[in-house]
């Protein structure tokens, strides 16, 4: 096996990457057909393994497949792939028989493995768990199984970045070569100057995907033109918005695309050292990336004097110890230098004075993943995709109260409604309350605004920002005030503490929101007034934070509060004036009652009640004095007869 | 422990402050937490005041300053998990084990950590115990798991 891989790598480097190829065209095509698994001799089982599917039990399924293979009389190969985007249907297992289309099975459990494999290997399809099959003109399709491109989930997307995700062996550089990776990098080294690559990216109109939307080419230009003996490229893969997971999935599913993107971008700005800053806790992501990088080194695509071009590049992974603020480029640089990740003043911009005082480009991982596609297909191809002001496609991860948690790739300017549709609509047919886009720095979009295009400017017009692409869907069982409080607590924890508006502002906001969602012990007039003032104070605090914070984190931190206040003001007022949470999420606003039928009068609740709100005589039903109840719920916990309930 | 620490630091001879975070991460991986002694040893090695190192370590979410329990519980608190009821799960854990996030129970059996999104939103709410993930958790299942874990003596 080892020998085959070494030979295959050599074949790929000599014939796919090199120009002109060493062998004749027919031989190359035959060999490619084998490498692309169009032409296989033994059955292959593919299993999607990502950090998401592992939680769904993919490792147990792998074990079951291994057992099956070792017990089987025929040779079967097991290949690990990434994720196709349908996270709710994981673990996903594909089977490809020689000459037949590759067929996918969803929600596979270890118990089902034997049944499915037994069936398919004997040309018999089990009735359940079939997802779809891959279209391939030279393969014979399975009868009455839909093709992937016929599923609306795939038909509605434009998958360029995700083209190989979940399809291609993500552990092998040979597969990466066979499906077109690194060819662009080799071409760039051979035929393009630094300036030419920069120009292509400038012309393409690519904008930073981290949330800022700054034109990437413009940023690069400044660094390219800066005179320095050392320049750095930093790839920000420290994805940490709660609810955003698409970048991790992209790395795990197609790590070589990321490396190629980093390599081409580093070449474009003339950097000889690149860092990929990811997070220590994403063990699986880091592992995949480390493997891919070492494979690229072995194939001679990284290191000293790459492919005799005279260009040298080192890529190393830095495992961030976990701070949300490190998404800000200056904070990230501080963290790389071994300091606390606190943003610094701009200017000087990192593009001219960054890591160790040298010109440094910090780009989001998705931005860099776009670069090989742009250079390979040309700036015109790229600028034809997307909206007028924002070009290309964007990755989104959709989670929350939806039928299908997924990550998708759609052109910029796609209406938000389409993304909700891609996610299979709201769970259990409930009504949609809001779409939170951009996590804690974004904002809520109401059901009426669903036709807004996903693009930097239109979103700004309705008072939210795109963020990095995490979308969380709320249905009517979600309390907006509670969610805003959640995001604010997140910001409060993650605020670096350098500037006062963000540090103190987030704390005050949390306190106000806490006050709104809690029932005070003694509801005197003063605290009631304080609570009433809450909304007004929230608004003015939010404006101060937005205008005076040092970095993007602080400036965008009040977004969820402001957008929710604007769009769901009645819900805030209901919490404040009526002391009610319609969704029944805010525990402390609940009022408890005792079911007369069930209460035996044991007095357990009355003894435990911290506010003496439960009165009665032993051995006859007790009752709760509504005015005194603080909604702590202790009575419900101690009641052995389930007599306590809340409204 | 001192010997281990020494070996670790030897790997990083002739380094500057740049490698402070990787060193801290290695020590953290080895010991499971950052002890007072290890912080001052790293300080001496890099010639950086211990106070600065402590300041840096407390800034980041990764580092803990109490030894890990035999069963280390990580609770995902991403937005999707929050919607699906992480708060209730946390309350249950805190009530049963009587520890707060970042702490270790007195008998050393359990430690608790709250982490931001683990990226498995389809399976929310998610927790992991000693790296083994549990998805779509309910409070009943959680109580059951904790009971199972506290009866098993991990090697």
Nearest residue, CB atoms, A243 vs list B18, B20, B117: B117
Is B47 within 8 Å of chain A by CB?
no
H or E segment to which residue A208 belongs: none
Say whether B123 and A56 touch across the interface (CB within 8 A): yes
Distance in Å, alpha carbon of B98 to nearest chain A alpha carbon: 16
Per-residue pLDDT tens over the stretch A330-359:
999 999 999 999 999 989 999 999 999 999
Q: Where in chain A is the domain with CATH 3.40.30.10?
A: 36-148
* pLDDT for the residue B153: 63
Q: Where in chain A is the domain with CATH 3.30.70.20?
A: 590-646
List of chain B residues whose C-beta atoms are within 8 Å of the C-beta of residue A52: 119-123
pTM check: above 0.90: yes
Interatomic CA distance for residues A217 and A194, integer angstroms: 12
Per-residue pLDDT tens over the stretch A433-489:
999 998 898 899 999 999 999 999 999 898 888 888 999 999 999 999 999 999 999
Q: Where in chain A is the domain with CATH 3.10.20.600?
A: 393-478
- Rounded to 10 deg, the angle between the A365-377 and A183-191 helix axes is 70
Peptide bond into A347 cis (omega under 30): yes
Q: Collapsing DSSP states into helix, strand and coil, what is residue A336? A: helix
Residue A195: HSE in the Cβ half-sphere, 13 Å Cα cutoff = 2
> Would you state the structure tokens that stand for residue B20, as one six-digit string?
């402070």
Per-residue pLDDT tens over the stretch A198-254:
999 999 999 999 888 899 999 999 999 999 999 999 999 999 899 899 999 999 999
Please name the fold of domain A36-148.
Answer: Glutaredoxin (3.40.30)
Q: Which CATH class is domain A173-383?
A: alpha beta
- Reduced 3-state DSSP string for A363-392: EEHHHHHHHHHHHHHCHHHHHCCECCCCEC
- Domain spanning B2-59 has what CATH number? 1.10.10
Q: Which CATH class is domain A590-646?
A: alpha beta
Strand partners, A409: A395
pLDDT of A361 above 80: yes
Distance in Å, alpha carbon of B85 to nearest chain A alpha carbon: 10
Over range B61-72, report the average pLDDT. 91
Q: Which residues of A529-558 are buried (b: 16+ CB within 10 A; e: fewer)?
A: eebeebbeebeebbeebbeebbbbbbbbbb
Report the relative pairing of strands B127-129 and B110-115 from DSSP bridges: unpaired
Interatomic CA distance for residues A404 and A568, integer angstroms: 26
Q: Where do the DSSP E strands lie in A70-197?
A: 77-81, 93-96, 103-105, 130-133
Over range A159-169, report the average pLDDT. 94
Distance in Å, alpha carbon of B63 to nearest chain A alpha carbon: 8
CA distances from A143 to A124, B97, B113 (A): 11, 55, 50
Is B129 within 8 Å of chain A by CB?
no
Q: Is B48 exposed, middle or buried (0-12, 13-18, 19+ CB in 10 A)?
A: middle
The residue among A399, A443, A588 with the most chain B CBs within 10 A of its CB, best to mutate, is A399
Which of A304-318, A525-539, B41-55 comes out lowest in average pLDDT?
A525-539
Say whether A52 and B119 touch across the interface (CB within 8 A): yes
Superfamily classification of domain B71-151: Glutaredoxin (3.40.30.10)
List of chain B residues whose C-beta atoms are within 8 Å of the C-beta of residue A406: 122
Nearest residue, CB atoms, A472 vs list B55, B79, B133: B79
Over range A577-596, report the average pLDDT. 85
pLDDT of A2 above 60: no
Residue spans of the domains in chain B: they are 2-59, 71-151
Measured between CA atoms, the residue of chain A closest to residue B56 is: A340
Distance in Å, alpha carbon of B39 to nearest chain A alpha carbon: 15
Q: Please, which residues have CB within 8 angstroms of residue A103's CB and are 6 or more apart in sequence?
A: A94, A95, A96, A120, A125, A130, A132, A133, A134, A142, A145
Percent pLDDT > 90 in chain A is 76
List of chain A residues whose C-beta atoms are within 8 Å of the C-beta of residue B59: 323, 340-341, 496
pLDDT of A51 above 90: yes
Distance in Å, alpha carbon of B11 to nearest chain A alpha carbon: 17
Measured between CA atoms, the residue of chain B closest to residue A248 is: B119
List of chain B residues whose C-beta atoms are within 8 Å of the C-beta of residue A242: 77-80, 82, 116-117
* pLDDT for the residue A1: 46
pLDDT of A59 above 90: yes
Peptide bond into B125 cis (omega under 30): yes
Please name the fold of domain A393-478.
Answer: Ubiquitin-like (UB roll) (3.10.20)
Mean pLDDT of chain A: 92
Q: How many CB pairs under 8 A join A and B?
A: 125
The DSSP annotation for A254-292 comes to -HHHHHHHHHHHHHHHT-SEEEEEEETT-HHHHHHHHHH
pLDDT of A138 above 70: yes
* pLDDT for the residue A629: 82
- Domain spanning A481-578 has what CATH number? 1.20.1440.230
User: Minimal CA–CA distance to A296: which of A192, A190, A375, A182?
Assistant: A182
Interatomic CA distance for residues A36 and A11, integer angstroms: 14
Which of A226-230, A247-251, A552-556, A589-593 comes out lowest in average pLDDT?
A589-593
> Would you state the structure tokens that stand for residue B64, as one six-digit string?
């803990």
Model confidence at A522, pLDDT cuts 50, 70, 90, reads low
Distance in Å, alpha carbon of B125 to nearest chain A alpha carbon: 11
């Amino acid at each position: 096996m080892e020998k085959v891989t070494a030979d295959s790598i050599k074949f790929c480097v000599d014939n796919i990457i090199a120009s002109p190829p060493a062998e004749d065209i027919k031989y190359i095509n035959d060999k490619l057909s084998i490498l692309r698994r169009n032409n296989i001799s033994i059955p292959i089982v593919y299993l999607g393994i990502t950090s998401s599917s592992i939680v769904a039990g993919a490792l147990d399924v792998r074990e079951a497949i291994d057992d099956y293979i070792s017990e089987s009389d025929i040779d079967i190969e097991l290949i690990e792939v990434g994720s196709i985007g349908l996270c709710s249907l994981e673990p996903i297992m594909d089977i490809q028989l020689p000459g037949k289309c590759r067929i996918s099975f969803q929600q596979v459990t270890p118990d089902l493995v034997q049944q499915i494999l037994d069936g398919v290997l004997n040309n018999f399809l089990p009735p359940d768990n079939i997802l779809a099959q891959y279209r391939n003109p030279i393969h014979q399709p399975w009868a009455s199984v839909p093709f992937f491109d016929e599923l609306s989930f795939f038909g509605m997307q434009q998958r360029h970045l995700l083209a190989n995700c979940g399809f291609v062996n993500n552990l092998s550089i040979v597969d990466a070569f066979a499906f077109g990776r690194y060819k662009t990098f080799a071409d760039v080294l051979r035929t393009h100057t630094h300036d030419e690559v920069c120009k292509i990216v400038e012309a393409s109109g690519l904008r930073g995907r981290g949330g800022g939307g700054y034109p990437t080419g413009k940023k690069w230009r400044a660094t390219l033109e800066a005179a320095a003996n050392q320049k750095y490229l930093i790839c920000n893969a420290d994805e940490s918005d709660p609810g955003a997971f698409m970048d991790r999935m992209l790395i795990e599913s197609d790590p070589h695309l990321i490396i190629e993107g980093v390599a081409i971008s580093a070449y474009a700005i003339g950097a000889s050292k690149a860092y990929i800053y990811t997070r220590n806790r994403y063990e699986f992501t880091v592992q995949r990336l480390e493997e891919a990088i070492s494979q690229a080194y072995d194939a001679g695509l990284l290191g000293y004097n790459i492919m005799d071009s005279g260009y040298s590049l080192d890529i190393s992974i830095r495992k961030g110890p976990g701070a949300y603020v490190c998404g800000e480029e200056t904070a990230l640089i501080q963290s790389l230098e071994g300091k606390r990740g606190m943003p610094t003043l701009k200017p000087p911009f990192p593009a001219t004075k960054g890591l160790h005082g040298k010109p440094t480009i910090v780009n989001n991982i998705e931005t860099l993943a776009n670069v090989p596609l742009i250079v390979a297909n040309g700036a015109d191809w790229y600028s034809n995709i997307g909206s007028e002001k924002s070009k290309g496609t964007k990755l989104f991860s959709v989670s929350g109260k939806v039928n299908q948690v997924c990550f998708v790739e759609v052109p910029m300017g796609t209406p938000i409604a389409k993304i909700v549709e891609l996610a299979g609509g709201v769970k259990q047919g409930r009504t949609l309350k809001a779409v939170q886009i951009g996590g804690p720095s974004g904002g809520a979009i109401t059901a009426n605004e669903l036709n807004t295009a996903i693009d930097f400017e239109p979103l700004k017009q309705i008072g939210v920002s795109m963020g990095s692409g995490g979308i969380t869907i709320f249905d009517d069982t979600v309390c907006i005030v509670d969610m805003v409080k959640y995001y604010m607590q997140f910001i409060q924890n993650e605020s670096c503490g350098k500037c006062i508006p963000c540090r103190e502002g987030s704390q005050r906001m949390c306190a106000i929101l806490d006050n709104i969602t809690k029932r005070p012990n003694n509801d005197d007039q003063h605290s009631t007034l304080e609570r009433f003032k809450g909304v007004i104070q929230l608004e003015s605090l939010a404006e101060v934070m937005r205008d005076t914070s040092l970095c993007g984190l602080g400036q965008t931190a009040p977004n969820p509060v402001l957008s929710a206040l604007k769009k769901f003001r009645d819900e805030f007022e209901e919490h404040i004036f009526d002391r009610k949470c319609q969704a029944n999420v805010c525990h402390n606003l609940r009022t408890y009652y005792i079911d007369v039928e069930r209460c035996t009068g044991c007095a357990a609740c009355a003894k435990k009640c911290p506010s003496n709100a439960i009165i009665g005589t032993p051995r006859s039903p007790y009752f709760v004095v509504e005015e005194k109840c603080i909604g702590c719920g202790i009575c419900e916990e101690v009641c052995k007869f389930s007599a306590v309930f809340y409204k | 422990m001192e010997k281990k620490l020494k070996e670790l630091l030897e790997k990083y001879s002739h380094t500057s402050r740049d490698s402070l975070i990787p060193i801290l991460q290695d020590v953290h991986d080895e010991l499971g937490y950052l002890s007072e002694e290890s912080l001052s040893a790293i300080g001496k090695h890099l010639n950086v005041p211990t106070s600065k190192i402590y300041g840096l370590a407390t800034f980041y979410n990764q580092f803990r300053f109490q030894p890990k329990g035999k069963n280390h519980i990580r609770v995902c608190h991403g937005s999707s998990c929050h919607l699906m009821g992480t708060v209730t799960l946390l309350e249950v854990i805190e009530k049963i084990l009587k520890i707060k996030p970042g702490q270790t129970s007195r008998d050393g059996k359990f430690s608790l950590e709250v982490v931001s999104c683990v990226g498995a939103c389809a399976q929310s709410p998610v927790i992991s115990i000693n790296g083994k993930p549990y998805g779509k958790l309910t409070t009943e299942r959680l109580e059951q798991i904790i009971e199972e874990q506290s009866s098993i003596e991990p090697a």
